[in-house]
């Protein structure tokens, strides 16, 4: 085996050339390494991403949809069931309702409370806005304190509605500035709605102030709701008339709408209001969700202060945004 040691031995005749070759090889490998590193940096492969991502868990939601009112295509891809366009507002994860008081697990019973007529009662309005409760506030468009209270509601990240004045059945009830009447033509009605909305630019939906006559008038409600739908706003029927067609027409249009379940303060007595609140919560427990409406009265403020202090952690008041949905049609309700 004489050849082997020979073959291992370095060639004697060209020592300089070997060194050059080694140097070249080293330079080439370095250049190659640099090139690979650069390429990886420029266009990381999906595996690189998932290997380096801090939260790669598949259960982690991807980029959440923007808060509300993402324009949808006129016809969403038809789901199997009745054609309900999936509204942007219900796209929020239902498991994460905006609950103010309970950081841990979500409360089992959720309900919505809307305070109407905001903008007129300065002190009580502000005290209500200061409560540590996720109240939804409905503002009259041209009331003296609308601007300042709107500012507070915005700062506290409360859900805001336009409380739109509408014609009452009893002519001696004046709905106030910015009101809709059944004898208006469509152009006038639309102009007024847009002016009202401009006064409450943060509104995510609209509920009616008074309107016992207007909400019974189907053509008028169809015009009104059609415009809300175009603006991607929902309608909360305050149900000032038992014969309101608002919810049904909204259902036909396939737009988001809700109905008030309980008025809390028809009688301004703290204990009675607390009883109404209890029945609202009981209803929420029974039917999954319930909506109450109250007003800026002293007794209401006191009842809600008690509620904020005393209520069971299993019960949570949530902003109306978290429950907005398309109404079921009459046949689905049966």
> Which of residues 68 and 280 has its CB atom nearest to Zn ion in the complex?
280
Select from 31-39, 113-121, 270-278, 308-316 the region that touches Zn ion (CB under 5 A).
Answer: 113-121
Select from 202-210, 220-228, 256-264, 266-274 the region that touches Zn ion (CB under 5 A).
Answer: 202-210
Least distance to Zn ion from the beta carbon of 242, Å? 17
> Which of residues 240 and 322 has its CB atom nearest to Zn ion in the complex?
240
Per-residue contact flags (x/-) with Zn ion for residues 129 to 168, judged by CB under 5 A? ----------------------------------------
Select from 20-28, 209-217, 221-229, 313-321 the region that touches Zn ion (CB under 5 A).
Answer: 209-217
Does 117 bind Zn ion (CB under 5 A)? Our answer is yes
Least distance to Zn ion from the beta carbon of 233, Å? 17
Least distance to Zn ion from the beta carbon of 78, Å? 39
> Which of residues 145 and 209 has its CB atom nearest to Zn ion in the complex?
209
> Which of residues 237 and 316 has its CB atom nearest to Zn ion in the complex?
237
> Which of residues 116 and 196 has its CB atom nearest to Zn ion in the complex?
116
Long-range Cβ contacts of 272-279 (<8 Å, 24+ apart): 273/299, 273/300, 273/303, 274/303, 274/306, 274/307, 277/303, 277/307
How many residues bind Zn ion, per CB under 5 A? 3
Least distance to Zn ion from the beta carbon of 145, Å? 15
The CA distance from 37 to 174, in Å, is 74
SS (H, E, C) the chain: CCHHHHHHCCCCCCHHHHHHHHHHHHHHHHHHHHHHHHHHHHCCCHHHHHHHCCCCCCCCCCCCCCCCCCCCCCCCCCCCCCCCCCCHHHHCCCCCCCECCCCCCCCCEEEEEEEEEECCCHHHHHHHHHCCCCCEEEECCCCCCHHHHHHHHHHCCCCEEEEEEECCCCCCCCCCCCCECCCCCHHHHHHHHHHHHHHCCCCCEEEEEECCCHHHCHHHHHHHHHHHHHCCCEEEECCCCCCCCHHHHHHHHCCCEEECCEECCCCCCHHHHHHHHHHHHHHHHHHCCCEEEECCCHHHHHHHHHHHHHCCCCEEEECHHHHCCCCCCHHHHC
> Which of residues 68 and 320 has its CB atom nearest to Zn ion in the complex?
320
Rule CB under 5 A: choose which of 89, 100, 107, 116 binds Zn ion. Answer: 116
- Taking CB positions, which residue lies at the least distance from Zn ion? 209
Rule CB under 5 A: choose which of 158, 209, 232, 270 binds Zn ion. Answer: 209
Select from 111-119, 265-273, 312-320, 322-330 the region that touches Zn ion (CB under 5 A).
Answer: 111-119
> Which of residues 115 and 277 has its CB atom nearest to Zn ion in the complex?
115
Are the C-beta atoms of 233 and 206 separated by less than 8 Å? yes
Name the residue with tokens 């299993």.
Answer: 314
Name the residue with tokens 């709605």.
Answer: 193
Least distance to Zn ion from the beta carbon of 247, Å? 18
> Which of residues 69 and 120 has its CB atom nearest to Zn ion in the complex?
120
> Which of residues 116 and 159 has its CB atom nearest to Zn ion in the complex?
116
Q: Point out which residues pair with 234 in neighbouring strands.
A: 205
Does 260 bind Zn ion (CB under 5 A)? Our answer is no
Least distance to Zn ion from the beta carbon of 174, Å? 12
Task: Point out which residues bind Zn ion (CB under 5 A).
Answer: 116-117, 209
């Amino acid at each position: 085996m004489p050849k082997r040691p020979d073959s291992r031995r370095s060639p004697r005749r060209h020592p300089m050339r070997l060194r050059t070759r080694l140097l070249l090889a080293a330079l080439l490998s370095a250049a190659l390494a640099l090139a690979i590193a650069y390429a990886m940096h420029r266009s990381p492969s999906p595996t690189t991403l998932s290997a380096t991502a801090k939260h790669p868990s598949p259960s982690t939601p991807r980029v959440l949809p923007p808060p509300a009112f993402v324009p949808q295509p006129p016809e969403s891809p038809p789901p199997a069931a009745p054609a309900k366009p999936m509204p942007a507002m219900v796209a929020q994860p239902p498991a994460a309702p905006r609950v103010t008081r309970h950081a841990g697990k979500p409360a089992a019973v959720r309900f919505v409370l809307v305070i109407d007529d905001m903008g007129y009662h300065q002190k009580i309005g502000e005290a209500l806005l200061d409560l540590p409760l996720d109240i939804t506030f409905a503002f009259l468009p041209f009331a003296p304190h609308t601007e300042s209270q709107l500012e507070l509601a915005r700062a506290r990240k409360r859900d805001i509605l336009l409380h739109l004045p509408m014609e009452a059945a009893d002519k001696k009830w004046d709905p106030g500035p910015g009101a809709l009447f059944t004898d208006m033509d469509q152009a006038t009605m639309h102009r007024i709605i847009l002016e009202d909305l401009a006064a409450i630019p943060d509104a995510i939906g609209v509920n009616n102030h008074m309107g016992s006559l207007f909400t019974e008038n189907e053509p008028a409600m169809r015009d009104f709701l059609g415009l809300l739908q175009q603006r991607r706003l929902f309608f909360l029927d305050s149900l000032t008339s038992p014969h309101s067609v608002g919810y049904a027409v909204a259902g036909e249009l396939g737009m988001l709408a809700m109905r008030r379940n309980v008025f809390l303060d028809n009688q301004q007595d703290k204990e009675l209001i607390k009883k109404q609140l209890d029945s609202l919560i009981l209803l929420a427990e029974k039917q999954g969700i319930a909506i109450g409406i109250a007003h800026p009265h002293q007794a209401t403020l006191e009842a809600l202060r008690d509620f904020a202090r005393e209520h069971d952690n299993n019960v949570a008041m949530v902003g109306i945004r978290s429950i907005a949905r398309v109404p079921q049609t009459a046949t689905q309700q049966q």
